[in-house]
Structure 1
Amino acid sequence: MTSLAHLTILYRGPLSSCNYGCTYCPFAKRHESAAELEGDRRALRRFVAWCTQREHGLSIFFTPWGEALVHAAYRDALATLSHLGHVRRVAIQTNLSFSLDWLPACNLSSLALWVTYHPTEVRSEAFLARCRTLVDRGVRFSIGAVGVKEHLPLIENLRNQLPPEVYLWVNAVKELGRYYDSADIARITAVDPLFGINVTNHRSRGRACRTGSSVIAVDGDGTVRRCHFVDEPLGNLYTGDFESHLSARPCPKSVCRCHTGYVHLEHLDLDTVFGDGALERIPANWAANAAK
């Protein structure tokens, strides 16, 4: 059993609807019934209550299948969790398509946003305006986009328009095999110097990983797994039986393709790259280095 002095939780409830229609996403424009949304809200409230009652340190990363911040319950959850003294970081993945009026209710020293840019769904001027609002309000955030070749001019323009202290990452398209040639990779690396990490399918089987030890994934029912990519349950958050199953263990998967997984692989030593910004995907000292 591992020490639980600090636990990182990747939370993904049943929410699976999104207000965007991106062709590369299976949850685009999916609508849920009122009953389904209420079920998600109940699961979220239960999770927030558990986090509130916990005494040891937490970092929490919401990784919904859909867009969560269009729902008031998620905005309220972030505000509540950000003010808990034992919560080091609370972050969420979002397309930033909503009003930012809820931000003053949050403790910005612990809040962070993983923002995604979808060129087919939002005008770049409107997206940039929201990003500048985040900068003006002192919100910690990164921005990312899927590296679809047809979108590269728009992604490059976004990089040119953003303040240099804002990190812009690019997620590689990996489902199409050898999608990029060397010129593509060089072009994207000029936007995201860390693209080489993401474009790689990291061999992980048998390798040490912090998931299942100090990092866990939790679903709406409270089922605990080591990460989003390994199905084996480790118990349940609400019964507490998961704690006895937390231990250092090698990864059972052949490769790890997603930042939310491979950032925890010990042999990659990405702690030295991201520091305390691993969840929200912000490299350590990025802003300071960009200002030089």
Structure 2
Amino acid sequence: MSFGDDLYVLYRGPLASCNYNCPYCPFAKRVDPPELLRGDKSDLERFVGWVRETTDRRLSVLFTPWGEGLTRSWYRDAIVELSHLPHVARVAIQTNLAARTGWLSAANPQVAALWATFHPGQVTIERFLSRCRELDALGVRYSVGVVGLPAHFDDAVALRAALPPSVYLWINAADGHVYTADEERRWTALDPRFGDSVRPHASLGQPCHAGETAISVLGDGTVRRCHFIPAPIGNLYDGTWRAGLRPRACGNSLCDCHIGYVHLKPLQLRDVYADGLLERIPAVWPLEVVS
């Protein structure tokens, strides 16, 4: 398989339940009914089967559940299995890191990775860092992030000081918050890539990898260009997704989410993240400091 055969797949099933109660999240403390959980498990197992059988592409998979996936055994099982498939370059998941991590000992640490978010007020820094140390011991790649609200700044500073320098700490600009020049400077001191997040990107008419070498997949197999453009371009399970892949310009005016704008071609962020694209780890990290 050549580099041109790479396909980034962002999967989001119906799961929407979470064990946290973050005030900035619409899915906080949501409880999914048993029938939805059964459906989510069935959908995920079908998706894993598709990945297993689709050997003509090199696949990289990011699970982006609305809720917390790692509290569910089927997400843990999926990550372990996919990490051992020879045509899967990366499998990662967005997580609050509340669940146990020992199951990752069965995964291939060269392939499995985590995109972890620290949520002040929901977990202590000490407990979160204990999970990070477990990942370090397992040799699993991970990034850590914080939503850049003013009330989170001191916690973010403490987290950066406590994490190993090799771990990338990213800051997401908070929805609806307008940053002063001083605030932007302070957050950028923690995350040199904060400028990518602090203002929405004008995307209308801009060329994008989404729909060409990156796709968004729903639990029923509906394939979209990305999570933020609802029009389907095919279905995973009837094969129509293949004919739907082609270069496209973005049809949205703005793109303000990392999992979207990271694929905008003019930003060249694929070069920034390279093999760490899905788990949000820059290829060159820590950055060299020039005195």
Q: TM-score range by the shorter chain?
A: over 0.9
Q: Deviations over 1:197-240 (max 9, x none)?
A: 11121000000000001100000000000000001101100000
Measured at CA, do residues 189 and 84 of structure 1 come closer, stay the same or move farther in structure 2, by a change above 3 Å? Answer: same
Amino acid at match of 2:10: L
Aligned to 1:74: 75
Match status 1:208 vs 2:190: no
2:240 paired residue number: 241
Distance 1:287 1:63 in 2: 26
Q: How many equivalent residue pairs?
A: 287
Matched, 1:130 2:131: yes
TM alignment of 1:169-184, pairs within 5 A: 169-176=170-177, 178=178, 180-184=179-183
The CA distance in 2 between the partners of 1:153 and 1:184, in whole Å, is 13
Q: Is the 8 A contact 1:174 1:199 kept in 2?
A: no
Q: Distance in 2 between matches of 1:15 and 1:164?
A: 34
1:24 corresponds to 2:3:
no
What secondary structure does 1:232 align onto?
Answer: strand
CA distance in 2, matches of 1:57, 1:27: 33
2:89 corresponds to 1:91: no
Matches of 1:96 and 1:284, distance apart in 2? 23
Task: Please provide the CA RMSD for this pair.
Answer: 1.5
| Partner secondary structure for residue 80 of structure 1 | helix
TM-score by length of 2: 0.96
For residues 155-192 of structure 1, the C-alpha deviation after alignment (integer angstroms, 9 at most, x for no partner) is 1100011111100000001324x2x2111111111110
Gap runs ≥5 in structure 2: none
Hey, what does 2:34 align to over in structure 1? Answer: 34
- Note the C-alpha offset of 1:289: 4.4
- Structure 1 residues 227-238: aligned runs within 5 Å: 227-238=226-237
Aligned equivalent of 1:252 = 251
TM superposition score normalised by structure 1: 0.96
> Does the residue aligned with 1:218 lie in a helix, a strand or coil?
strand
Is 1:139 the equivalent of 2:112?
no
Secondary structure (helix, strand or coil) at the match of 1:73 reads helix
Asked whether 1:119 is paired with 2:155, we answer no
1:287, distance to aligned residue in structure 2 (A) = 4.2
Distance 1:94 1:128 in 2: 14
With over 3 angstroms needed to count, the CA separation of the structure-2 counterparts of 1:195 and 1:288, relative to structure 1, is closer
Given that 1:165 and 1:288 are in contact with CA atoms closer than 8 Å, whether structure 2 keeps it comes out as no
Q: Secondary structure at the match of 1:144?
A: strand
In structure 1, stretches of 5+ residues that fail to align are none
